[in-house]
Structure 1
């Protein structure tokens, strides 16, 4: 079936930046929120109340915080804001996928996607505006890194998705289909680890959004020295963008491999907490015609990953304008999967989602560009 392109369903007026000078309470850790409120002359226990209203109920208006006195509500409103990223466009695919182009306070933009399934929804969250890794099969890699996203901008993406689906709990309904987060959007999460970690701790806090760490997956292209830290600090599910079974090919597809080659990457994965128990590390493998899809490649993939408690996600390459690769044929992908499965590894073939709105894996990009002379701290 040929998917027809869809039109954006929501467009807001562009703006150059945020004029409101009040601090945003979204993105502060629980401890930082309490310190901020106490500094403003409010009682320490207010932090717990405000936290629950922001992250459990999803309110953006202090006037809706019904267990806080009107006078205190007004003081909070005078001093602070509860702010999400702004929606520039919202697009909906024929398969139910939604993609948002989000604008932040400084005018920069990034994309966020929700991929709905029968029993869950996985929100694909960005960690940077642009990317520094230049992976040749990825559209985001063609956009130079502009800057890291803040904790507020990272957790705010999930909050925008909740807003769009109307999925904040009510007194009678707490079921939520947006149940998973995958840090697989624009950027390399491990090059913005501190901000990503703060955001994910907020997401996992049981008094707020309250997602289990088992419902969060962080994907990396292979920043080897940081992998152990992910396990120690967050202990979330780990996904690795592998995409090749030898260094020569991976050096081209994922240039960070020149710094940390496959052997070093797999050693770090083998040592990841939980890698030898029921939680498997997921290795992402984009199927590229004539590049990494031979029977020999499949057998080598089995050899490399057998010592690790792993599974492989085979991803049919998702094209984008000017892409230098083609997707492997359907028969080739299934033969590759058959070899890997016969070798004892699980190798599901991911069904492409949101291709008609360029929301599929490897297709995200924004028009934001770094200002001349601007430095990015990694």
Structure 2
């Protein structure tokens, strides 16, 4: 007897976002689209025992469409809206369109990032609808309860339905407002995935490149693509074989992915030719300096200073202070670090202070700062690294 499970799982994994986008476009309801697609997969597990259809995506879409129409017809509200909500016929070429790289998946990304939704809802909805993560997986990423996260997702989907937000790439004059949110969400997906393995990071890079297919001349989109490629070029050297953190200065540069670095530099050059420099381009320019050792710390400090004027934040200020410490000296860097507010619960602020104190011979104070950093860190590799630094630091005199 054939076991259809792997085939259904593969088709669902590879084409879920595209099928979901088509169903949402037709029926205008996130929850309905998700439910009927799940129903279609459940039926496939029973029906595909005799063999996988020649076009499994078309099979699933047809079943999902029929289930959605049946559900709307059974529902009183659905019957009242049937003439306008249910199309007479599913577009004949929709499957072919879904299988092409184009607006359906982009439309889903832009819908998830609608400005009417709160930022945390945009990220969570994109992770679920486009990337395919479960509510439990997303909840663990954001350190919230699964029930809380699930309610957040339900509210976001119903807001899209009730507000009549269409599944479409917005008009040109609305793109700048929506684009900022889209790029922020894609970058958040990447940064949250940085310690989880390549799968979700690859998805973030793919999404960034997908947005770039829509707006190939938008410099900030190109800047984000370049930035993610540069981060990825070094991802294989961030941890040791034992899973311990390896600082950038100690990484084996011969193992950096030069193909990705070259691609990133080319994409960044295209972005900079437009003559308007935004935060993602500036971050990519900084990453290029790190990717071509030895880094020019004075140049990096100047770039962070520019970034502070464009996108001021305590974390950017902290990175600027680190660059100043490397280019001018630890005392100058520590003065800047101590002037930053709002990072008392950020472990890297304490770790940076500890390092700069240690470099000035203030070992006891450094130990206190390392201890606080270790208390706040959540990533196991970060905690092991800080524990090692703490063991090496003499205690503060009593």
Superposition TM-score tier, normalisation by shorter sequence: 0.3 to 0.5
Q: Which has the higher helix share?
A: 2
TM-score normalised by L of structure 1: 0.32
Tell me which structure has the larger Cα radius of gyration. Answer: 2
Q: Which has the higher strand share?
A: 1
- Greater RCO structure (CA 8 Å; 6+ sep): 1
